[in-house]
Structure 1
Amino acid sequence: MSERLQPGDTAPAFTLPDADGNEISLADHKGRKVIVYFYPAALTPGCTKQACDFTDNLDVLASAGYDVIGVSPDKPEKLAKFREKENLKVTLVGDPDTTVIEAYGAYGEKKNYGKTYVGVIRSTIVVDEEGKVERAFYNVKATGHVAKIIKDLGI
């Protein structure tokens, strides 16, 4: 099980391929705040709702100085399908070997319909301009989470 991040921790650096196969790095966003959210799988109902919520609120978040990056274990081809099908505007990156997901503490034991298994824990980490963790939300709900973030951040 991976350690969960706490406010004040240095956010783990990463470079991952986006839906077009371009490399996206956390370092590219230095000087801006970044909302890095982790979700189990593209093209599933909960993850679609969450990605659409982020897309719908992207202008509000961007005008408050936040960039948004969604991370899942999906390959770029699947992310591209997800983006096209749902008209997503958020940056989606793939982490098929879950190295980054684990580094952010967003991988571990989950319960679903009474079964316990290991997988991606829906989580959101807010990283400040200096690359430090400002907020860390784990085991979040797909629905209503973006509104909660906006409220918690005072946007």
Structure 2
Amino acid sequence: MKTKAFTFSLLLSLSVMATTAQAALKEGDSAPDFKAQASLAGKSFPYSLKEALKKGPVVVYFYPSAFTGGCNIQAHEFAVGHDKFQAAGASIVGVSLDSISRLNDFSADPEYCAGKFPVASDVDGKIAKSFDLSVVDTPAGRKDTRGNDIDHAHTERSTFIITSAGKVYASVGGLAPEQNVVKALEAVQKLAAAKPEKPAKP
């Protein structure tokens, strides 16, 4: 009986995980526009996805929390690879449920964002939910790598490559932080190399 109960519990967990993974926006979906307070190199400013897309594709990456193990690694990898993303014509923006004050510190930290790209504050989780991502409460007592309390909910680690036309070109989820960045760069470079569609004949 215990074995059957365990198997059922495991299958249920896997089913829930699969449902969550499948819920996110897919290739070809329209990306929801958003505006948010963001931080770049320690200074806050109003970020607009619509405005950013006027300059080219945007990599929108959602992460659980600033100053936590995997998120520190991911931010560092995006900062290190920033020039390659830029060379492919794409900009980067991170999104989390952190407060703007936490993000001011995170964006300026030379070990993480290093002032290379902005990180946006989605304190109420509306942006994450608009991308069909789940928002989960963080258990009480959790602390970040600086020893400070994590006093906000979090969303799953998921990255979207948005074309300048506002469509999801690719999404990356379910990978370790380093691989998430590698796959995002591959998608951006593939998008840059793609031949533009020929205009329809009149």
TM-score by length of 1: 0.86
Find the counterpart in structure 1 of residue 91 from structure 2.
67
Is 1:37 aligned with 2:61?
yes
Report the Cα distance in structure 2 between the residues aligned to 1:140 and 1:106, rounded to whole angstroms.
15
Unaligned 5+ runs, structure 1: 110-117
How many residues were matched structurally? 148
Q: How does 1:50-129 map to 2 (within 5 A)?
A: 50-85=74-109, 86=111, 87-108=114-135, 119-129=154-164
Q: How many angstroms apart in 2 are the aligned matches of 1:148 and 1:6?
A: 16
| Structure of higher CA gyration radius | 2
Compared CA separation, residues 69 and 58, structure 1 to 2 (3 A) = same
Contact 2:134 2:156 in 1 (8 A): yes
2:44 corresponds to 1:21: yes
Q: Which has the higher helix share?
A: 2
Pair 1:73–1:119, CA change in 2 (3 A)? closer
SS in 2 for 1:106: coil
Q: What secondary structure, in the 3-state scheme, does the structure 2 residue paired with 1:35 have?
A: strand
- After TM superposition, give the deviation of residue 27 of structure 1 in Å: 0.6
- Structure 2: runs of 5+ lacking an equivalent: 1-19, 137-152, 191-202
* Secondary structure in structure 1 of the residue aligned to 2:67: coil
1:153 offset after TM fit, Å? 4.0
1:145 Cα deviation from its structure 2 partner: 1.9
CA RMSD of aligned residues (A): 2.2
Q: Which residue of 2 aligns with 1:151?
A: 186
1:49-84: CA deviation from partner (whole Å, max 9, x where unpaired): 000100111111011111000000011110011122
Secondary structure of the corresponding residue to residue 83 of structure 1: helix
Preserved CA contact (<8 Å) 1:38 1:106: no
State the match for 2:73 in structure 1.
Answer: 49
Shift of residue 8 of structure 1? 1.1
1:119/1:83 CA distance change after superposition, 3 Å:
closer
Distance in 1, Cα, partners of 2:115 & 2:70: 14
1:146 is displaced (CA, Å) by 1.3
SS where residue 18 of structure 1 aligns? strand
The answer to which structure has the higher strand fraction is 1
